[in-house]
Each structure stands twice: as structure tokens, then as C-alpha cells.
DNA sequence: GGACACTATCAACAATTCATTGATAATAAC
DNA sequence: GTTATTATCAATGAATTGTTGATAGTGTCC
């Protein structure tokens, strides 16, 4: 027996004063209402209503139960409609994790526009380059760069991420422009600590051999620093175009070994479930998807 | 789906932090708990928990729902246990209707003893000789004298009620003692307005003919008055022995036409239902049943 | 006062839902 | 890399649900 329905039936019978009218209002048959009330009485072990075929009268137990049951039903209704509101109008706090360099350069206008479109949504943006656990750390969405291995999570590809090698024209003039990965030998490499590379690619093979023990170059876990260093002639950086793009456009950096370019990675929005998504999350996913254009505006 | 069970499952999962432990505590299978929570989510249209195989995390909607759901469950539990108490310990207000003359003479000690045995029960005793509607007027028990025709109500026979004709020895000396119903002709009849008589009886036939238009005697709707009148020699009264008994024992009244005595009626306790009786009612019925003895102490 | 309409409930059936079992994918610990 | 644990899925038989038609009680209207 669904006690909530039974309670609702009982309360309706009391307020309507008759089983038939209660059944009308609940859009069921009088038989069912009668059965519900009987079952409720059986469950409680007390008669709630004294009834003839014409009149209904509450017993003492019924009176006491009625009040409280009505309160409980109100609470439930309110509770559910509140959940419903939370669902239809996007609202609440949206907790996002994003890669540091990407967020610094490209998240601010997006979030500002998103909040203009969804005033009820507050945003908590956490910048992080390490691997973040969506559920464990309570994020609604995690933006991540790389090739995603399958898991129980949903990963929606938001934008392609091209990783290019580049250096300042001055540096290349002084040290020569590599035409082949093997020419990289002896160059100063500006290494990014967290980069995930697909080992099937030739560019990677060199990096594995020479990049790892990068005695002559520098290493950082922040791409901006590396790109800025490259711009000032510190060496060769392997960084995504969403960082190096403007500098390349302005001629401050020059792309090298373009024909050996790494297979494009992606910017992914990772979230927990496809179904029953809170609408703040769904709205955000919809919003960010396509926001950067294809190809993205930084390329 | 029983939403209450589903809510309980959800709340337990949250408080236990795992489906398996929740299942243990609820004494069901983890599968069922999982299903309940899923159904609840489906019903609400929101994800309540983000879950991997290892960790559980509340969503925002889940957090909001959890609090309120717990409150609702507490309310329900409290409500039901209160009803249960009301049921096991007899308590509450017991509303009784009883015939005027009977109640005046015989109810006081009974009620006093009953309340001593059941301190939690308050009593509202309404004296009334008209036909009272148990459910309509909200009585728990109606004591009624007569032959009960079947209805949806339960009528438990509490004691036999003998109706006897009697008059004072002085009256009989002066007017003669009737030996046969036909001898009643010409006597002064002290008529009771509400008496219900079975028309198959010879005594009744006379009353129908002679009693109805009772020009020479008197009529009252109160048996005590009639009996007192009979004692003081006003005529012949047809009244139950629970009124006339003591006067008869003391010789103030003399029974006549004993061989034509009306078939004994009964004192009935009428109540609405046999099952799911509030225990204050059941206790009272049990208490009054047998209280007057068989034959009753007034005979 | 008797036919009538209305009401609550009962009984029985078909459709649905339920709880259980075993299997599976994902994850953490060893 | 293997094992153990966890949540969920899938399939099955069992229990429950809501429906239908029937029945008894109860006012009402001529």
C-alpha cells in the first residue's frame, strides 16, 4: 500500500465529506478510495471514520490523525514542488572545475554571459590542473583537457585543443628552426609537468627521450609561464593554441614542426549523469557547447 | 511505488553513506534500496545522489530533499506511534448516550468503577430517550432499550429488561386486581410515551386499543415519574423492573398480570463497528457486559 | 409509504508492480 | 594484476493493484 496515497485519500474524504466526491477530486473510483481508507485503518489498527452510506464522521483517532496527516501531505507537496522549481528554473550553486590556464584566458566572459542568462545560478569556479574527481569532490561539471578514457562519467567534447610547438622568432634565428623531430636535440625545451601525451606519436617519442630529463630547459605546471618564457626567447614550448594563439597571431611566436603536430586533443565537460541532470548543469553544458566556435576563436 | 518506503530508503542511504549498509539496516537487499532511490529520483525528476561504486555524494537537490524528507518521516512515525498508544492504552474521550431513567439509577457506579480501571478515559454521558444516531451525533456507544432491528450497527445485548405491569397495593385494593388483560378496561393507565412494543403480544393489543387515547390516566416520557405515581396510587404502570424493582421488593408496588408479561426486551450497547474499535470503546463494552449480572441485580 | 437514486463496500479478476535471484560493470585495496 | 566490494541491471515468479459488476444500507421524492 502506498501510505501517501492512502493518507491523501483519507484527508480528501474528510474534507469532501463523502467517498464519492473524494474519488471525483482524486480522479479515481470510490471503490479505490474506500479500499485505501480501509487499508490505512487496518495499518493503524484504528477506525478513523464512522460511516454509513450517507454520512461520514471522524472518530477521535481520526480527528487526531487527520490534522497531522494533512500537515504531512502539505510538507510533502511543498517539498516536491520546491524540487520541481529547482529543476525547471535553473538555480542553485554550480560548482565547476577547470584547467588553470584555460580558465584564466577563456572562462571569464563565458561565465559572465551565462550568469546574465541564468540569474538564479551562482558559480563556484575552482581552477585545477590535476585530475579532479567529479563526484568525490562534489563538482557539477569538470572541464578537462586530454583524451578521455571511458568510465561511468559522461564526457562531452566542447572544443578541439590543438597542441603546437612554438618558439620566438629570435630564439629560432639564434638556434635554428627544427625541420624534423630529431632536430630538436640540443634545443631548450620548456616542459609542462602535467601534459598527457599519446605515445604513438613521433613528437612524443622525442619528448620522452629528451624532454623528461630536461636539464637545459625549464619545467612548469603552468602553461602561461611557459608560453611567456617562449615569447621572451627561453626555448621551445609545446602548448595548446588557446594559450599560444594570440602570440602566434601577433608574430611573437612561430609554430614549428607543424606537420608533426600532435593529434588534436579536446576540451571536455565531464559530469556525472546524462539523465536527471539538475537544470543548472544542463543549462551550463548547453551554454558552453558551441560557445567557443568551430574552429575555436583562438585558432 | 510506496513513496514513504522510497523516502526512508533514500534517507537511510544518506545517513549510512552506502547502499549496502542502508540495506542491512532496513533489512532488505541493496538491489531494492537502489531501485527505490532510482524510482524516487525518477518521480522527482532530479538526481538526488551522485554515486560511484565506492562513494555517495548528495546533489544540491538531494541535500534539500534529505532534510525535509527526514522531518516528514519523523512526523509520520510520531503520528503512527501516537495512534498506536491511543490504541493500546485506552484513552481519550468516551461519548456515551444512555436512556434517562436507566442511567440515573444504574450508570453512576459503573462509570465510576470504569474510570478507576481506565484512568486515561474521559467520559461524556448524554442522557436521552429518543432514538439517537450513533454516527450522526458522534457517540462512541449508545445504550438503548428495546428490540433492535438489524442495521449496519453492532448491538450487543448487555442485560435483559423485563417490563412488568404494577400498581400500588392500595390502588389494587380499591380498583380490583386485573387477572386478565381484558380486565384492564376502565383502569387508569400511566402511559410511557416512547415505549416500543411488539404488536404480537396480547398485552399490547389492549394497550393499543385503550392505552393510546389515555383519557383517564396520565402520560409521561419519564418512567421514574410514572413509577412514583403508581406508588402513590395513581394507576397502573407498565415499566421496566430496573425502575420498579426496588419498590416491588419493598412491597410498595405489586406486579399484576405476570403470566401475560411482555417478552423480555434487552439493554443493548450499540456501536459502529466490530473491528478496529478504539480500545476505549472496546474496554467499555467489555466492562459493561456482565456488570449487571444475570439475572440483573435489580430483578 | 413505496419506488427510486445514491452511497459505501464487497468479491473476483486481469494487469501491473513488486521483491528476489543471479549476473555485470566499475572501483578500491592488497 | 588480482581480489573484494559496490551499485546496478535483467529476468523471474509472487504479490498487489485498480477495475468491474454486484449488494446492502439510506435518504428523497412523488
Contact B278 A52 (CB under 8 A): no
Tell whether the model's pLDDT for residue A163 goes beyond 80. yes
- Superfamily for the B92-161+265-288 domain: Periplasmic binding protein-like II (3.40.190.10)
Q: Which of B99, B61, B56, B13 is nearest to A94 (CA)?
A: B61
Q: Does domain A92-160+266-288 have CATH number 3.40.190.10?
A: yes
Grid coordinates given for B70: 527526514
Q: Which residues touch strand C (CB under 7 A)?
A: A 18-21, 30-31, 34, 37-38, 51, 53-54, 56, 133, 136, 150-153; B 1-2, 5, 28-29, 31-32, 35-36, 39, 52-55
CA distance B166 to B253: 6
Query: Residue A55 belongs to what H/E stretch?
Result: none
- Name the phi and psi angles at A95, rounded to 5: -100, 115
- Structure confidence by residue, pLDDT tens digits, B213-266: 555 678 788 888 889 988 998 888 888 899 998 889 898 999 988 877 777 788
DSSP state of A263: P
Grid coordinates given for B52: 560511484
CA distance B115 to B283: 11
**Closest-approach residue (CA) in chain A for B87:** A46
Q: Does domain A163-260 have CATH number 3.40.190.10?
A: yes
A163 within 8 A of A238, measured Cβ to Cβ: yes
CA distance B239 to B247: 12
The pLDDT of residue A6: 92
CA distance B275 to B284: 15
CA distance A3 to A40: 7
When the pLDDT of each residue in chain B is averaged and rounded to a whole number, the result is 83
Do domains B92-161+265-288 and B163-260 share one topology? The answer is yes
**Chain centroid, CA A167 distance in Å:** 35
Mean pLDDT of B88-115: 90
Q: What does the domain layout of chain A look like in residue ranges?
A: 3-88, 92-160+266-288, 163-260
- Structure confidence by residue, pLDDT tens digits, B169-208: 988 888 888 888 777 777 888 877 765 554 445 555 556 5
CATH architecture of residue range(s) A3-88: Orthogonal Bundle (1.10)
Cis geometry, peptide bond prior to residue B263 (ω within 30 degrees of 0): no
> DSSP H helical segments within chain B, as ranges?
3-16, 19-26, 30-44, 60-88, 100-117, 169-175, 202-206, 223-231, 241-249, 279-288
Amino acid at each position: 500500500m502506498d501510505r501517501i496515497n492512502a493518507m491523501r485519500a483519507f484527508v480528501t474524504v474528510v474534507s469532501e465529506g463523502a467517498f464519492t466526491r473524494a474519488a471525483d477530486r482524486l480522479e479515481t473510483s470510490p471503490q479505490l478510495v474506500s479500499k485505501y481508507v480501509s487499508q490505512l485503518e487496518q495499518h493503524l489498527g484504528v477506525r478513523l471514520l464512522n460511516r454509513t452510506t450517507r454520512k461520514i464522521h471522524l472518530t477521535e483517532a481520526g480527528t487526531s490523525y487527520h490534522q497531522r496527516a494533512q500537515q504531512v501531505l502539505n510538507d510533502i507537496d511543498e517539498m516536491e514542488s520546491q524540487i520541481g522549481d529547482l529543476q525547471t528554473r535553473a538555480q542553485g550553486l554550480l560548482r565547476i572545475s577547470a584547467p588553470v590556464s584555460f580558465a584564466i584566458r577563456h572562462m571569464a566572459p563565458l561565465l559572465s554571459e551565462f550568469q546574465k542568462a541564468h540569474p538564479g545560478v551562482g558559480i563556484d569556479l575552482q581552477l585545477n590542473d590535476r585530475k579532479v574527481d567529479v563526484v568525490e569532490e562534489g563538482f557539477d561539471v569538470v572541464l578537462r583537457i586530454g583524451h578521455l578514457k571511458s568510465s561511468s562519467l559522461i564526457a562531452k567534447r566542447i572544443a578541439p585543443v590543438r597542441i603546437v610547438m612554438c618558439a620566438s622568432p629570435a630564439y629560432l634565428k639564434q638556434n635554428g628552426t627544427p625541420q624534423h623531430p630529431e632536430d630538436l636535440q640540443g634545443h631548450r625545451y620548456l616542459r609542462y609537468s602535467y601534459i598527457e601525451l599519446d605515445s604513438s606519436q613521433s613528437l612524443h617519442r622525442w619528448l620522452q627521450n629528451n624532454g623528461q630529463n630536461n636539464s637545459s630547459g625549464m619545467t612548469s605546471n603552468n602553461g602561461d609561464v611557459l608560453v611567456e618564457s617562449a615569447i621572451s626567447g627561453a626555448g621551445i614550448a609545446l602548448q595548446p593554441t588557446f594559450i599560444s594563439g594570440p602570440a602566434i597571431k601577433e608574430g611573437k611566436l612561430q609554430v614549428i614542426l607543424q606537420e608533426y603536430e600532435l593529434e588534436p586533443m579536446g576540451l571536455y565537460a565531464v559530469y556525472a549523469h546524462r539523465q536527471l541532470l539538475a537544470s543548472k548543469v544542463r543549462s551550463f553544458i548547453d551554454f558552453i557547447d558551441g560557445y567557443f566556435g568551430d574552429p575555436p576563436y583562438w585558432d
